[in-house]
Structure 1
Amino acid sequence: MKKMIMKVVTIGFLMTVLASCGKNDAYEQSMRKTKEAIIEKKFEQAEGFVEMALESRPKEEEAKAYQKQIELYNEALTFMEKEDTHNAIVKLDKLISIEKGSDKIVGYAKEDKARLSTQTETAQTDSSSEEVPEKNLWTTEKANSLKTFMANFSKTMDQQYQEYNQVQSVDLYGLPLPAAVLDGSWEMAVNEQPVDIEWSTTGEGRAPLQLVAVYSDADTQPYLQKHVYFFVLEKGVPKVYVTQQNQGNENNYLYFKESQNGELNQGFSQLVKE
């Protein structure tokens, strides 16, 4: 509520100041105020100023880049307040990758990321020195067992499923998977909500979803009949997600649903428990 009030006050103030300015002057004034607010680390104000700049020039790439950076940084700050280090770093990484924006806010993001990474490494070191190592949820042996299972599953379904991983992707209607999801250019969405996922060789990691295997029949199936299966450990629970998406969307979401194939779900679950 405080952020919303500050934003409204900021926009109202700026509208008063710029009421007598021309369109170009209004843009320059707004961007100057945006940059000053960033230097002073008043990011709610910066957000209001850059919105005014875009009202003057809606297609201006610089203002769009600033707006996205400020939005991501405010989200990262919220995650940092909640001590959610993983999601904070995800937002900071996206901010850092934006071009034509503010070098100043990129500098803040890099400093915050370095600090958070150091804290995470220290916590992991302390934890590993205190805890007794446990058996990995996912191993090379289990991956090999899944490969054998999928070979038999292919025969049962009369389809040809091939294995893919973090370095070798399948082409699903022009989209490389799992690379597009792992590098952040697309977001995996379940029940139309984006989820955080990362590749794991052990079934454990920082993200809520650990991707341990990918299988697809996209190279052999006809158009609109292609499947990509993500074999995931969600807080240790084995789940199989499937997508058949054949077109993009403005959010760059790749929509998945949990597989309804009982044989596939049961087979993966048994492998994880071995």
Structure 2
Amino acid sequence: MIDVPAGWHDALAAVEAGAARLVVIGGPDAGKSTFCRWLSEETAARGYAPAFLDADPGQPDVGPPACLARRDGDRPAVLAFLGVVEPMSRRPVLLDHARALATAPAHPLIVNTCGFIRGPGRFLQRDTARAVGADLAVALEPEDTLAPLREALAPLPVLALPRSAHVRRRSQARRRAARAAAFAAHFEGAPVLEVPREGLTLEDCGAGTVEVDRLPPRLLCGVADAAGRDVALALFLEATEAAVRLLTPAARVERLRLGGVVVEAEAWRDAPVLPLGRAFS
């Protein structure tokens, strides 16, 4: 059970009145994910077909870190690899991903955003709202702090709602630990694949190089299928003359998108190694 402030029902009323695309905005640990889950459940219970688009690559509720993700009902999440956990450094890519993930119909589309709401962050919120075609912004922030955000978002209407009483501020250390746990969960049980270099497509998403022999160990990458759809994360381990060694839960690797994060983890040490060519079996 969660604490549901009475004001949250104003967002539900807005959906029933026709609001179809909502961006949910608030600072770190404002309870945005909790609100998004609640609104998804409540609208689904009333016969709507909600979708949840998570545009917070640092503390995601859907999908692994360094990605945007969309979930429609009980269907598997659709990923869009960003390659970083801090969105400002890849703002154009984030906006492109948000726009693409928002194209499929849903009522309502509920968009969770990152916690940057002041300074340049308010313009990221504005651009995210425009990218997804939002018709309402829900702000889990006190009304007396919202003037700069309202100005940036105008003419988009902003509905200020109270935070849940159960929301607790987390330290940066706890936020980093949560992100590390999310990475670990994604790679749990994943083998090390030896993928033939011949036929492997490398895509630069901001890493600054596509020369596989110069990539740093444990570089976070995205695995895409032949159609270009992101399906999983991978950790680049090393390159040999014939193959690239990757830790990934993906069964097949044809496209590798290079990220901008080196993951400080050791999960791959005990991972089974699949021999050359097995990635394509």
TM-score of the superposed pair, with normalisation by structure 1 = 0.30
Greater Rg over alpha carbons, structure: 1
Q: Which of the two has greater helix per residue?
A: 1
TM-score of the superposed pair, with normalisation by structure 2 = 0.30
